[in-house]
Amino acid sequence: MKPLRWGIVGPGNIAHRFARDIRHVPECEITAVASRDRTRGAAFAEEFSIPHVFESYEAMAKSPLIDAAYIATPHPFHRAAAELFLREGKAVLCEKPMCVNAREAEELIAVAKEHGAFLMEAMWMRFLPAVTEAVERAKAGVIGKVRGLSADFCYSLRPESEPKIFTPAMAGGGLLDVGVYPLHLAAMLFGTEPTSLDARSTLREGVDIHTAITLTYEGGAIATLSSGTMVKKPENAYIYGEDGYITLPCFYSAREYTVTRRDGSEERISLPFDGGFCGEIREAQRCITEGRAESELHPLSTTVAVLRQMDAVRKSIGVSYPFDKKSAT
Ligand SMILES: NC(=O)c1ccc[n+]([C@@H]2O[C@H](COP(=O)([O-])OP(=O)(O)OC[C@H]3O[C@@H](n4cnc5c(N)ncnc54)[C@H](OP(=O)(O)O)[C@@H]3O)[C@@H](O)[C@H]2O)c1
Ligand 1 proximity of 77 Cβ (cutoff 6 Å): yes
* DSSP class per residue in 112-149: HHHHT--EEEE-GGGG-HHHHHHHHHHHHTBTBSEEEE
Q: In the 8-state DSSP scheme, what is residue 251? A: G
Q: How far is CA 298 from the centre of its chain?
A: 10
Calculate how far, in angstroms, residue 291's C-alpha sits from the geometric centre of ligand 1: 28
d(CA 236, CA 135): 14
Calculate how far, in angstroms, residue 72's C-alpha sits from the geometric centre of ligand 1: 5
Q: Assess whether 110 and 154 both reside in one domain.
A: no
The CATH number covering residue 262 comes to: 3.30.360.10
The answer as to whether 142 is a domain residue is: yes
Calculate how far, in angstroms, residue 192's C-alpha sits from the geometric centre of ligand 1: 27
The answer as to whether 8 is a domain residue is: yes
Q: Assess whether 156 and 106 both reside in one domain.
A: no
Q: Which amino acid type is present at position 257? A: Y
Residues 6+ positions from 22 with CB-CB distance below 8 Å: 6, 28, 29, 30, 277, 278, 281
CB 5 within 8 A of CB 27: no
The answer as to whether 70 is a domain residue is: yes
Q: Which amino acid type is present at position 255? A: R
pTM: 0.97
The answer as to whether 285 is a domain residue is: no
Calculate how far, in angstroms, residue 90's C-alpha sits from the geometric centre of ligand 1: 20
Alpha-carbon torsion (205, 79, 189, 265), positive or negative? negative
What's the count of helices (H) and strands (E) in the chain, helices before strands? 10, 14
Ligand 1 proximity of 37 Cβ (cutoff 6 Å): yes
User: How buried is residue 162: exposed, middle or buried, by Cβ count under 10 Å (0-12/13-18/19+)?
Assistant: middle
Kind and range of the H or E element at 4?
strand 4-9
Q: Which amino acid type is present at position 315? A: K
Ligand 1 proximity of 178 Cβ (cutoff 6 Å): no
Q: Which atom of ligand 1 is nearest to the CA of 11?
A: 43
Kind and range of the H or E element at 190?
helix 180-190
CB 193 within 8 A of CB 274: no
Q: Assess whether 50 and 157 both reside in one domain.
A: no
Q: Assess whether 186 and 109 both reside in one domain.
A: no
Q: Assess whether 70 and 148 both reside in one domain.
A: no
Q: What pLDDT sits at residue 1?
A: 76
Q: Which atom of ligand 1 is nearest to the CA of 162?
A: 20
Q: Which protein residue's CA is at the shortest distance from atom 18 of ligand 1?
A: 12
The answer as to whether 312 is a domain residue is: no
**32, 34, 101, 222 from 305: Cα distances, Å:** 32, 30, 10, 18
Ligand 1 proximity of 96 Cβ (cutoff 6 Å): yes
Calculate how far, in angstroms, residue 11's C-alpha sits from the geometric centre of ligand 1: 8
Q: Which domain holds residue 263?
A: 129-270
The CATH number covering residue 120 comes to: 3.40.50.720
Q: Which protein residue's CA is at the shortest distance from atom 14 of ligand 1?
A: 13
Calculate how far, in angstroms, residue 171's C-alpha sits from the geometric centre of ligand 1: 12
Count the alpha carbons within 13 Å of 149 in the hemisphere toward its beta carbon. Answer: 29
d(CA 182, CA 176): 11
Count the alpha carbons within 13 Å of 323 in the hemisphere toward its beta carbon. Answer: 22
Rg, Å, the chain Cα set = 20
* Closest alpha carbon to 189 in 282, 243, 251, 250: 251
d(CA 85, CA 77): 13
Question: Best mutation site among 85, 95, 250, 310 for ligand 1, i.e. most ligand atoms within 8 A of its Cβ?
Answer: 95
Please list the residues that pair with 267 across neighbouring strands.
259
Ligand 1 proximity of 74 Cβ (cutoff 6 Å): yes
Calculate how far, in angstroms, residue 15's C-alpha sits from the geometric centre of ligand 1: 8
pLDDT tens across the length of the chain (329 residues): 789 999 999 999 999 999 999 999 989 999 999 999 999 999 999 999 999 999 999 999 999 999 999 999 999 999 999 999 999 999 999 999 999 999 999 999 999 999 999 999 999 999 999 999 999 999 999 999 999 999 999 999 999 999 999 999 999 999 999 999 999 999 999 999 999 999 999 999 999 999 999 999 999 999 999 999 999 999 999 999 999 999 999 999 999 999 999 999 999 999 988 889 999 999 999 999 999 999 999 999 999 999 999 999 999 999 999 989 864 44
Q: Assess whether 150 and 113 both reside in one domain.
A: no
Q: What pLDDT sits at residue 326?
A: 63
Q: What pLDDT sits at residue 329?
A: 46
Ligand 1 proximity of 323 Cβ (cutoff 6 Å): no
Number of separate domains in the chain: 2
Q: Which protein residue's CA is at the shortest distance from atom 7 of ligand 1?
A: 14
Calculate how far, in angstroms, residue 265's C-alpha sits from the geometric centre of ligand 1: 44
